[in-house]
Structure 1
Amino acid sequence: MTSHKTGTREEWLAARLELLDAEKELTRRGDEVSRRRQELPWVRVDKDYRFETGEGAASLADLFGGRSQLLVYHFMFGPDYRAGCPSCSAIADGFNGFAVHLAGHGVTLCAVSRAPLEKIRAYQRRMGWTFPWASAYGSDFNFDFGVAHTKEEWAAGAVRYNFGEQDLRPAAGEQAASDAFTESIVGTNWETYRREGPGMSAFALQDGAVYHAYSTYARGLDILWGMYQWLDRAPLGRNESGMWWRRHDEYDND
């Protein structure tokens, strides 16, 4: 016998129609936020960032792949990681499917990480992904766009992330547990792991100049987690405690 509230079909329909009003309001609010997002002023990017790709060395403009818009997912995969972040990997599992549709609409989707290209390509083969993925190893790109943090920031407890400062160091007595956790998922200690952060940035290319249009971090990335959009509509919702997901090749087959 379920412990969840039950009712008649008529009661369900009345409650569903009430919820529908709230969903429609959320949709209208989302449309307004999207409009304001597109109205943000663009900032010209004059710094000469260099990347390594499967096709060789590339500039930021090269990452557009001949299109006028570029969406960069800042994938947490630092130079000392053994494997890519499981959370970023869960998000990236959806990239293959919709990258082709974005490309057909003049938008290139590309992941960027600080790991060397050979590490990225090996992990990409393991995951079965084909979307573009560039290495920013040795570049300031991820630092400048708020997803890589210096040792000095870390030591001061003032990591600049999500448009503010945060102290990402473990609380007293939690260092060993934090190190053990990150060692198990990416092969590094906590500091090495969290001196990287997830995010996405949008760029435009006009008349040969690159412009930064938008960036978001933390819960601003929720919409990119395809599995969460499904779970939010499942009977028990997210129904989670801690980090339950894994890389897609790490689940049991039964």
Structure 2
Amino acid sequence: MTTALPRVVSADEWQTEHEALLAKEKELMKAADHLTAERRRLPMVRFAKPYEFTSAEGKKSLLDLFEGRRQLIVYHFMLHPGDEAGCPGCSMVVDNVPHLAHLNARDVTFVVTAPATLPEIEAYKARMGWDLPWVSANGSDFTEDCGVGRFFGTSVFLRDGDDVFRTYFTSGRGAETFSAVHRYLDITPFGRQEAWEEESRGTDEPGGWWRRHDEY
């Protein structure tokens, strides 16, 4: 990491520059609001295949994953059969999942899926100390049909009666949307300390510093 620090200025100059930045932040937030509305207007596609998932409670269908709610968020986790541990980046995303009561209150269910077998999932959950709902997609076409392959991503589904539709998907840097870790780092002077950042004060490759939370 470099040792260059921000300029030292008077309190009045700091306040002036802070207010200028705040105006830009508000402008960006309004643009994000418009993009969010556009996301809600996306068309949807029916998911009618009889997918079967394995959970600690037994076999479940895609419809079962909604738990009676109308909206479902699925995180596709990179944990495959035979893996000794889950993806560090995916693990960071799951560490950042909020208390589900807040989602449930808005008619949203959240679940994590992975291609690994249920025993492999349960072992990794125990290591990480997670109690979030997970299901195994092992033996199902679900992961492939969502276009995830051996990668990761977030899918959103809507239930209309017994009909299920997919409304949204994101992957890659889209996962940063769900990472409070990144949001907090982005307000610090040193940021993420990755080489690509403008005014970077670090040399790490993107994601090169990520570890599972028990490995730092």
TM exceeding 0.5: yes
Which residue of structure 1 aligns with residue 35 of structure 2? 33
Give matches, 1:1-254, under 5 Å: 3-95=5-97, 97-148=98-149, 196-240=150-194, 241-242=204-205, 243-251=208-216
Gaps of 5+ in 1: 149-195
User: Which structure dedicates a bigger proportion of its chain to helix?
Assistant: 1
C-alpha separation in 1, matches of 2:43 and 2:55:
29
Give the conservation status (yes or no) of the 8 Å contact 2:82–2:116.
Answer: yes
C-alpha separation in 1, matches of 2:120 and 2:53:
14
RMSD over aligned Cα atoms: 1.3
Question: Once the two structures are superposed, what CA deviation does each residue of 1:14-68 show, in whole Å capped at 9, x if it has no partner?
Answer: 1111111110111001000000001011211111111101111111001111211
C-alpha separation in 2, matches of 1:2 and 1:221:
30
SS in 2 for 1:134: strand
Q: CA deviation at 1:2?
A: 6.1
Question: Once the two structures are superposed, what CA deviation does each residue of 1:81-106 show, in whole Å capped at 9, x if it has no partner?
Answer: 111101100110122x4322111221
C-alpha separation in 1, matches of 2:4 and 2:60:
57
Q: Structure 1 residues 10 and 220 mapped into 2: Cα distance closer, same or farther (>3 Å)?
A: same
Look up the equivalent residue of 2:112 and give its one-letter code: A
Give the conservation status (yes or no) of the 8 Å contact 2:117–2:138.
Answer: yes
C-alpha separation in 2, matches of 1:3 and 1:236:
9
SS in 2 for 1:221: helix
C-alpha separation in 1, matches of 2:39 and 2:77:
22
Question: Once the two structures are superposed, what CA deviation does each residue of 1:132-171 show, in whole Å capped at 9, x if it has no partner?
Answer: 11100011111111111xxxxxxxxxxxxxxxxxxxxxxx
Q: Structure 1 residues 3 and 249 mapped into 2: Cα distance closer, same or farther (>3 Å)?
A: closer
Which residue of structure 2 aligns with residue 152 of structure 1? none
The percentage of counterpart residues that share the same residue type is 43
Gaps of 5+ in 2: 195-203
C-alpha separation in 1, matches of 2:119 and 2:105:
29
Aligned length: 203
Give the conservation status (yes or no) of the 8 Å contact 2:93–2:175.
Answer: no
Look up the equivalent residue of 1:147 and give its one-letter code: V
Runs of 4+ residues deviating >3 angstroms:
none
C-alpha separation in 1, matches of 2:133 and 2:92:
16
